[in-house]
Amino acid sequence: MAPLSAGALVVFALIAAALTLFVTEWLSPDMTAIAVLVSLAVLEPYTGVPAREAIEGFASPAVVTIVAMYILSAGVEQAGLVDWLAARLATLTRGDENRLLAAIVGTTSVSAGFVNNTPIVAVFIPLVTSLAERYRISPSRLLLPLSFAAMLGGTLTLIGTTTNLLASDISRDLLGEPFSMFTLTPVGVVVLLVGVAYLLTVGQSLVPERIHPAADFTEEFDMDRHLAQLTVRESSPLVGLTVAEALDGGELEALVDETDGVAATADEEAPSDAVDPIDVDVLQIDRDGESFFATATDWPIEADDVLTVRGSKQAVNQFAERYELRQLPRESVTEELLAESGHAGILAEAVVDGESRLLGRTLGDVGLRSRFDVTVLAIRRGDTVIREGFAGVELAAGDTLLVQTPVDEILHLDEEGYLVLTEGPPELFDVIHDEAAPPTLGPRALVPVGILVAVIALAALGVVPIYIAALGGVVAMVATGSLSASRAYDAVSWNVVFLLAGLLPLGAAMQATGGATFVGGLLAGAGTVLPPLALLALFYLLTAVIASVITPVATVVLLAPIAVATAQDVGLSGAPFLFVVTFAVATAFLTPVGYQTNLMVYGPGGYRFTDYARVGGPLQLLLCAVTTVGVAVVWPL
């Protein structure tokens, strides 16, 4: 075995630092990738990656294709195809859990082979939760299979996932030939069929019921001890003030907005005993049978008004004593009471996804209540629920927020990429999906679908490369009015683009310094005692586990060169090893952090971290055998 060069040691040190940042998330993954790119260029004498080569990832066919596919997917989504499929699903299943599960798994898996699976899952989550509520089925029983099905569908075609496109680029560099549109399809179809069969049988029995089907929001987030109603006495200093005036004047500095972390500015005449904030939010005011969202109404507070508040028992007691309020029985506060009047806004559930503008920011920095009239009542992180002290909570991907808000404000947050709506009252999704008029696919709506089909056909027939076909499709989308130019730019997940472009030169550095060959030589030792098929299975498992801990993109960049080098060291073809890595990174089921759609269902399903391994572990082992054999048959060792 060749000795390890100084350059390889430098590259391995950069990899170790990058992996540490990926796991700890001290820097966001895209910024970590750019830091790797800069480091490789600065350390060129050791890494062998000049500055011009370091930035070539931004012009990589894979990156260009991914940008174009985001835009094409947005055009298809805007045409209403996904909404139309969802409406048909609701009509056909009619409340039967087995039929509903089969429809969800079948629809999402096939769709994800041709359209970006993130918008598919984003549309299906609220549909699934509303159907689950209507038919008294636990949403937990349906959402994890939804995510896994979308991942399985990604193995069908070249454009099924970003990692497929990235692996195609790596194949071109290492093996001299990129993937075609349907290179993965023979094995992908088998993987999909086996995975769907598992989800509808064994997997169905393993999926836990974390959220009771009959639970409303207050029960689901266990809010009974953190919601209370207080009656305003005639002697209360709040009488005659609106909530806004009280906040401005210092009377309600107890209402420090824990969702923006900024206390109301008290004037010089503020009472000295009111300087210490109390962690209590006023949610609504009830008077003579009408309810009003507290921060949106300009009605002065009157004696005998009932204030609905969020806070711990101790905080509410302190608040009531300070402002001369009388407490009502806590069990009177329900979801129905909180949303019984349009004046009071609605209760909704929304997820912080992996591309949210809220990632890494605290609620105190964001100012949801002061900027958007959105009051956070609770945060669910897996099976843990946070109900107080929101100001210092740093939001992470997968967090689910229970909010009280006017409809237009929560829609604005969804449209601007802050949150993904997952559950709410029917009127909320009537606005989004216009359920009064079931979605139809008219001639105009079929234009973007036709453009996507044309792109796939041109690439599959080899008329033009996939990236040229996809860019042509983008032009056609905008030229036909199927998508505006501004919406096209907004559709691209630029953090993913920077992640891909930043990590691509890392693979080149491993090749240039001999690092991939060195690691391949170490693993080739296993090839002397393992038969080729077992070595192939070993790479599948290694890839699947690593991809479940760090990003699949980083995993394919790191392991694809090593897999090919290992195969060449033991005298085997590199192609099957590259393909098995490609399939393994696309099906990283073991944790919620391994794949974007897993994070999206984490909060709405109320899952525990271990639920993914519980359901995905057996599926991962099953697909290890199926994929390994399938790859060896289609691409002989």
- Helix-, strand-, coil-residue percentages of the chain, each rounded to 5: 60, 10, 35
pLDDT of residue 429: 54
Q: Contact at 8 Å (CB) between 117 and 108? A: yes
Q: Contact at 8 Å (CB) between 425 and 382? A: no
Mean of the per-residue pLDDT values for the chain? 82
pLDDT of residue 41: 92
Listing DSSP states for 156-194 in one string gives SSTTS-HHHHHHHHHHHHHHS----TTSSHHHHHHHHHH
613-617 CB contacts, 8 Å cutoff, 24+ apart: 614/206, 614/208, 615/144, 615/148, 615/203, 615/206, 615/207, 615/589, 616/148, 616/589, 616/590, 617/589, 617/590
pLDDT of residue 249: 44
Sequence-separated (6 or more) residues with CB below 8 Å from residue 623: 191, 194, 195, 583, 587
pLDDT of residue 620: 94
Q: Contact at 8 Å (CB) between 66 and 497? A: yes
Q: Contact at 8 Å (CB) between 166 and 500? A: yes
Beta bridge partners of 384: 381
d(CA 201, CA 433): 32
Q: Contact at 8 Å (CB) between 274 and 246? A: no
398-401 CB contacts, 8 Å cutoff, 24+ apart: 398/351, 398/352, 398/353, 398/592, 398/593, 398/599, 398/600, 398/602, 398/603, 399/351, 399/352, 399/603, 400/349, 400/350, 400/351, 400/352, 400/602, 400/603, 400/604, 401/349, 401/350, 401/351, 401/352, 401/376
Average pLDDT for 62-84 = 81
Interior angle at CA 44, CA 42 and CA 49, nearest 5: 110
Count Cβ atoms below 10 Å from residue 607 Cβ, excluding itself: 27
Q: Which of 61-75, 246-260, 271-285, 479-493 has the lowest mean pLDDT?
A: 246-260
State the pLDDT confidence band at 247, using cuts at 50, 70 and 90. Answer: low
**Residue whose C-alpha is closest to residue 455's, from 486, 482, 489:** 482
Q: In what order do the strands lie in the sheet with 227-232?
A: 290-293, 281-287, 306-310, 227-232, 325-327
SS3 459: helix
State the pLDDT confidence band at 618, using cuts at 50, 70 and 90. Answer: very high
d(CA 560, CA 533): 17
Question: CA 214, 217, 222, 223 torsion: positive or negative?
Answer: negative
Residue in this structure with the two tokens 């009051």, named with its chain if needed: 375
Beta bridge partners of 191: none
**Residue whose C-alpha is closest to residue 37's, from 499, 590, 532, 571:** 499
pLDDT digits 0-9 by tens, 534-584: 999 999 999 998 888 777 888 898 889 889 988 888 889 999 999 999 999
SS3 476: helix
For residues 91 and 423, the model is more confident at: 423
Q: Contact at 8 Å (CB) between 183 and 158? A: yes
CATH class of 219-433: alpha beta
pLDDT digits 0-9 by tens, 345-388: 678 888 888 778 888 888 878 877 777 778 888 888 877 888 88
d(CA 130, CA 90): 10
pLDDT of residue 256: 40
pLDDT of residue 262: 38
d(CA 516, CA 504): 14
pLDDT at 276 over 50: yes
pLDDT of residue 366: 80
pLDDT of residue 187: 96
Tell me which amino acid residue 116 is. N
Sequence-separated (6 or more) residues with CB below 8 Å from residue 20: none
Domain ranges of the chain: 62-213+442-494, 219-433
pLDDT at 132 over 60: yes
Main-chain dihedrals φ then ψ at residue 282, nearest 5 degrees:
-85, 125
pLDDT of residue 1: 54
Tell me which amino acid residue 206 is. L
SS3 555: helix
Average pLDDT for 145-150 = 94
272 to each of 65, 255, 261, 316, how far by Cα in Å?
63, 16, 21, 20
pLDDT digits 0-9 by tens, 401-421: 888 887 778 788 887 778 888
Between 574-586 and 185-200, two packed helices, what is the crossing angle to 10 degrees? 40
In Å, the largest CA–CA distance within the chain is 89
Count Cβ atoms below 10 Å from residue 416 Cβ, excluding itself: 11
Sequence-separated (6 or more) residues with CB below 8 Å from residue 88: none
State the pLDDT confidence band at 156, using cuts at 50, 70 and 90. Answer: very high
Query: pTM (2 decimals)?
Result: 0.76
d(CA 125, CA 492): 21
